[in-house]
A = this chain, B = another copy of it.
């Protein structure tokens, strides 16, 4: 953890935990840099979704609604790409350094998440 914080302090700040829910019970870490940025982005997306509800309520033209849906989808994608980059830079890099099975597990897990993103 210390190593990571040092290494990536300039670039990525760091949100989240590299441990799954089960592992984390003992070691709670909250990194505050990117977290506020992530929350702000999600709040903006929530605003876009509420805007969409208003558009539907007011019978706005379908094509205009679709344009807004594309914007919200792009914002979600961009959010997940940032999250993924940070995950690679912290959790996957850490696991690689620890070596052994853990590296393989983290790579497989990240690859599965990437596949879900690419296919959604």
Residues of A within 8 A of B (CB): 7-8, 11, 15-21, 24, 28-31, 35, 38-39, 42-43, 45-46, 49-50, 52-53, 56-57, 59-67, 69-74, 76-77, 79-81, 83-89, 91-94, 96-97, 99, 103-104, 107-111, 113-120
Contact = CB atoms under 8 A, between A and B. Distances in A.
A74 to B, nearest CB: 5
Contact of A74 (B59, B97, B120): B120
Contact of A59 (B11, B29, B66): B29
Given A49-B46, A56-B39, A76 B87 contact: no
A107 B93 contact: yes
Contacts of A88: 88, 92, 107, 110-111
